[in-house]
Amino acid sequence: MSTLHTVNKSPFTNTGLQSCLDHCKDGDAVLMIEDGVYGALAETVMAERVAGRIGAVSLYVLLPDAAARGLAEKRMLNGIAGVDYEGFVDLVADHDRTLAWL
């Protein structure tokens, strides 16, 4: 019984990712989409808070959105997995519910 959380806003502008990380439970998954993909960046003012949940929570980034924004995978935090839209579908199917942090 676990939840897929989606975050679609930049963590540098909006507190959605932080609130998501504060509410997701161990074993949940967080998928960063749209402007939310910036949450995957390493060496930012948010990076430590995101990295602190890796392991307890499975973190994913939607690669088409990352590519559009010029985010190379090598710039991302270790432990964040990239998925395409089919991977997004699998994540939805594999978790009991999806919660969008709009």
Partner 1 sequence: MKFGVVISEGPYTHQAADTAYHFVRAALAKGHEVPRVFFYHDGVNVSTRLSVPPQDERHIQKNWTALAKEHGIDLVVCIAAAQRRGLLDENEAGRQGKDADNIAEGFRISGLGQLIEMGIQTDRLVTFGD
Partner 2 sequence: MSEIKKFLYVNRKAPYGTIYALESLEVVLIGAAFDQDVSLAFLDDGVFQLTRGQDTGALGVKNFSPTFRALGDYDVTKLFVERESLDERGLSEADLQEIMYEDEDDGWAEKPSIRIVSRAEMADLMADQDVVLSF
Backbone angles phi, psi at 32, to 5 degrees: -95, 125
Q: In the bound complex, what is the minimum distance in angstroms from residue 14's beta carbon to a copy of itself?
A: 6
Alpha carbon distance, N-terminus to C-terminus of the chain: 22
Closest to partner 1 by CB, 48 or 69: 69
Closest to partner 1 by CB, 38 or 88: 88
Buried b / exposed e along 68-91 (16+ C-beta atoms within 10 A): eeebeeeebbeebbbbeeeebeeb
* Residue 42 near residue 71, CB atoms below 8 Å: no
Which residues between 25 and 84 bind partner 2 (CB under 8 A)?
Answer: 25, 28, 34-35, 38, 41-45, 47, 63-65, 67-72, 75, 84
Q: Which of 2, 3, 7, 15 binds a copy of itself (CB under 8 A)?
A: 15
Q: Is 57 helix (H, G, I), strand (E, B) or coil?
A: strand
Q: What is the binding site for partner 1 (CB under 8 A)? A: 6, 8-9, 33-35, 62, 64-65, 84-86, 88-90, 92-93, 97-98, 100, 102
Contact set with a copy of itself (CB under 8 A):
12-16
